[in-house]
Structure 1
Amino acid sequence: MVDFPRETLEIELKQWIDLRDRVAQAKLARHIAALANHGGGWIVFGFCDNGTIDPDRPAELSLYSRDTFGNIVTRLLTPAFQCDVQLVRSSAGLHYPVVRVPSHSATPIGAKADGPHDVKGQPQGIRAGTYYVRKPGPKSEAALGMEDWQPLIRRCVTFDRDTLLADITRAIQPRVEPPAVAVIDRLKTWHEESESRWQAIVERATALRWLVDIGTHHCQLSYMIVSDTGIAIPAGELQQVLEAVNRDVRETVWTGWSMFYPFTRPEIAAALHPEFADGSGVDVLESNLIGDGDFDISLPDYWRYSVDGRATIVRPYREDRQRSVEGKGRPAGTWLSPETVIRETTELVTHARLMAERYKGSSVAFRCTWSGLAGREIDDWNGYWSPGRIARADQRTTIGSWDVPVLAANWHEVVAQLACPVLNLFGLNDCSAEMVAGMAPRFTKL
């Protein structure tokens, strides 16, 4: 966001401003409310709307603090909530304040006070009683017609519905139901054929720059939505649906690099393909971020999403990135983060549940594989784990199937069932649903 800044519906770029100015605070409150009502987002300071650097950099950045933005929210918006603020260092060595705006919950965020009035008595920046949303431009404006209110109302209802389901089923321990044999076989075939397709792409990546062999050091996470009537997503709307679901997933997991995100930049844009190399099969939206192996603008994810509700993503370990090696001081291929394993599994389960709900799926089957584990040691970005937890086995595959209401109400347990077996290979025997729940609040922070 600070090396390649650009405005989107989720990201608002702002030039340096005087945060003590009440008009500036009112304008910021409008953007904060709109981003929250959009499902969350970011405000990045120090840049013009076109992404160029604002040269009027202040001498110090102490006012860009959590307290400053907390006071703005408390004074001007309702219900009140907390924004996180980080100073993010760019590759050029400069720090930029980045404000993380969380999503609204069961109630949309509204303005409870006017901004300062101008000479004509009109409020500036924000108007009491108004609900703001993000609109193409991007802009933060008042919600007007149903096209503005519909996605906002849907998120509110979904949030309240999930809370109610959790209350009803809190005492229910979800069992891992083995998928029907036909489902097992079809998902396994999809998983393996997609992995073979990815391996062929890796072999053609002539300029591949990664510190370990990604053909053997990666994870692959797949799911299949099951319905008695079958899943049929119109090919023409698949990309739009994935964009919408991506925004909802961010209420649970938001890393800055989402799964199944259909980029539109030409060199990494998702595109429709036939399922099989001979041109047969159903339509599949495919995203190849490997390209020729040059990752200056991307990370080497590869994913496929079929119109009949099958999904897979192949992702090399982020621990093996050059930036991770430099930041952690450990060679690539030598460690694995439990939090990353659990967070990515959570993102998969959340994505599957939201897609299944949208297309009336009854259950979802999962198949998850982690490869290149032998010799890696449990560690993390913050050095939390004690040393010496080293895997001897090289690969772990987990499978399971759950009804869609269980994925909503007891997702901590579902994630534990899928992710903990791989961490058990490292001797991390206390991995559990409680451990997943303890980590969950960190899944919406970079």
Structure 2
Amino acid sequence: MAKTTFERSDLTDLIDYPRETLDIELKDWIDLGDKVAQAKLARHIAALANHGGGYLVFGFRDDESVAPNRPTDLSGYSRDTFGRIVTRYLAPAFQCDVRLVQSSAGLIYPVVRVPSHGSTPIGSKADGPHDQKGQPQGIRAGTYYVRKPGPKSEAAIGIEDWQSLIRRCVLSDRDNLLADIARAVQPISEPPPPAIADRLKNWHDESDARWRTTLEKAAALRWLVDIGANHCQLSYLILSDTGIAIPANELQPVLEQVNRDVRKTVWTGWSMFYPFTRPEIAAALHPEFDDGSGVDVLESNLVGDGDFDTSLPDYWRYAVDGRATIIRPYREDRQRTFEAKGRPAGTWLSPETVIRETAELVTHARIVAERYGGSRVVFRCTWRGLAGREIDDFGDTYWSAGRHARADQRTTIGTWDVPVLAANWHEVVAQLSCPVLSLFGFSECGAGLVARLAPRFIKL
């Protein structure tokens, strides 16, 4: 029997440090064949969907301790199982993703990702099994469930329960409308004023310098190529007439919420700007500059983690005034990738990954801008270590061989109104990422290719 390999991801953080929040519901080991248990799960799934999405994490008690009596067979925790529960009890129907995730201690836990509702909230269409008094157990037909402090999954009652749900429905409907008219929108990037362009460039360059200082201290770092010469750096700056001001104490929870929304468009298991909670890699507030001056910046440094067989040594910074940057070595250069593909590190580049990661950046910027009243977003993206690499890709994606880059790096910039980022993000992503691939003689890149690849950007 082939050995199953479990990829470390954002989900690993959920089981290494289990916690119950409005986004996360911990569940003990349960009999998935029990009808009452299915009805209760349906209630939690509906509430999480109406909250904007979240997770069911199995194998933990309410006090966040590991549940005893672990089943020997976890095959019942499958997409089909939860699909049947959703179909039986909820409308409109939708699909949950299910993953078996390995903790740092080596134990496997099922994690169910519940997506957000769309322009219509999720309601219950059937009662759970009735008790001896004729009362439904677990879920009641014709009810809309939401997450409430506790956390609990309960019926929506007052305006405070409905307000955020209605707002998300309206935003979803707006996004659908924008998508319908996107063909009429020509998202031509306009150069920002020199002072704005310089502000983002300074942030981009200063973060790069800070990261290189971190690299020098990373004695445990193990990577197959020189990270300093082989990586991408993706940055943005949100503009607003009144300025962006995110309270420092809200920055981490805001990024957690934004991360959840980004995953509707891009989610491959290792998200950008994800604030891990494991103490040695947890994001922490820093002053912008080493002398203690500047604005507050949330910084995450995974470079010192050392073991990157199944992870990435990301480094990112997020400032309270809407500046963001992430520096990430190429997945193509991991030891795990070399073992799986047989291509030496530093010899190839994935077009799909370049496009997907640019899409994730654009989506992230747009969601934060919408949340804080941003009007425009300025982007600056740099790819280094391209010379000598050849176009290739992961999995079953194939591009014609023999296309190599002679130039070693490429920087792209652009500025777009926030509505354009929502309405025609395929074109925005193409304008930022295609110039990189053109160095390889890759002529197929454009908004059409981004749109065709987009369904692959969610791989969980």
Question: Structure 1-normalised TM-score?
Answer: 0.89
Instruction: Give the equivalent residue in structure 2 for 1:344.
Output: 357
**Which stretch of the first structure deviates more once superposed, 104-113 or 9-18?**
9-18
The match for 1:320 among 333, 340, 343 is: 333
Aligned in 2, Cα 1:235/1:83: closer, same or farther, shift over 3 Å?
A: closer
SS in 2 for 1:422: helix
3-state DSSP of counterpart to 2:116: coil
Q: Is it true that 1:38 corresponds to 2:23 in the alignment?
A: no
Query: What's 1:194 paired with?
Result: 207
Q: Does 1:362 align with 2:375?
A: yes
CA contact (8 A) 1:7 1:51 kept: no
**Paired residue for 2:295, among 261, 282, 289?**
282
Paired residue for 1:305? 318
Shift in alpha-carbon separation, 1:317–1:138, aligned structure 2, 3 A: farther
Counterpart position of 2:138? 125
Q: Quick check: 1:257 aligned with 2:270?
A: yes
Name the amino acid aligned to 1:70.
G
CA distance in 2, matches of 1:265, 1:5: 7
Alpha-carbon offset, residue 59 of structure 1 = 5.2
8 Å Cα contact 2:16-2:103 kept in structure 1 = no
Unpaired stretches in structure 2, ≥5 consecutive residues: 1-10
Q: Which ranges of structure 1 fall in alignment gaps of 5 or more residues?
A: none
Corresponding residue number in structure 1 for 2:7: none
Counterpart-to-counterpart distance in 1, 2:352 and 2:25: 29
Deviation of 1:144 after TM superposition, in Å, equals 4.8
Whether the aligned pair in 2 keeps the contact of 1:374 and 1:394 (CA below 8 Å) is: yes
| Alignment check: 8 A CA contact 1:378 1:385 kept | no
For 1:400, the equivalent position in structure 2 comes to 414
Judged with a 3 Å threshold, the aligned counterparts in structure 2 of structure 1 residues 292 and 250 are, in CA distance, closer, same or farther, namely closer
Q: 1:243 aligns with which of 253, 256, 262?
A: 256
SS for the counterpart of 1:370 is: strand
Following TM superposition, by how much is the alpha carbon of 1:240 offset from its aligned partner in structure 2, in angstroms?
Answer: 2.8
State the Cα deviation string for residues 363-385 of structure 1 (Å, max 9, x = none). 11100011112232322221321
Q: Does 2:87 match 1:74?
A: yes
Asked whether 1:214 is paired with 2:230, we answer: no
Q: Kindly report which structure 2 residues correspond to 1:93-242, keeping only aligned pairs within 5 A, or say none.
A: 98-135=111-148, 139-144=152-157, 148-242=161-255
* CA apart distance, 1:416: 0.6
Equivalenced residue count is: 445
Q: Residue 367 of structure 1: SS of its match in structure 2?
A: strand
Separation in 1, partners of 2:53, 2:426: 22
The alpha-carbon deviation at position 60 of structure 1 amounts to 7.7
Taking only aligned residues, the RMSD between alpha carbons, in angstroms, comes to: 2.9
The change in CA–CA distance for 1:140 and 1:445 in structure 2 (over 3 A counts) is farther
Q: Distance in 1 between matches of 2:88 and 2:249?
A: 44
Aligned ranges 1:3-22 → 2 under 5 Å: 4=16, 6-7=18-19, 9=21, 10-12=23-25, 14=27, 17-22=30-35
Give % identity: 76
Q: 2:453 aligned with 1:439, yes or no?
A: yes
Structure 2 letter corresponding to 1:416: A
User: Residues 87 and 200 (structure 1 numbering): CA distance in 2 closer, same or farther, change over 3 Å?
Assistant: closer
Letter paired with 2:388: G
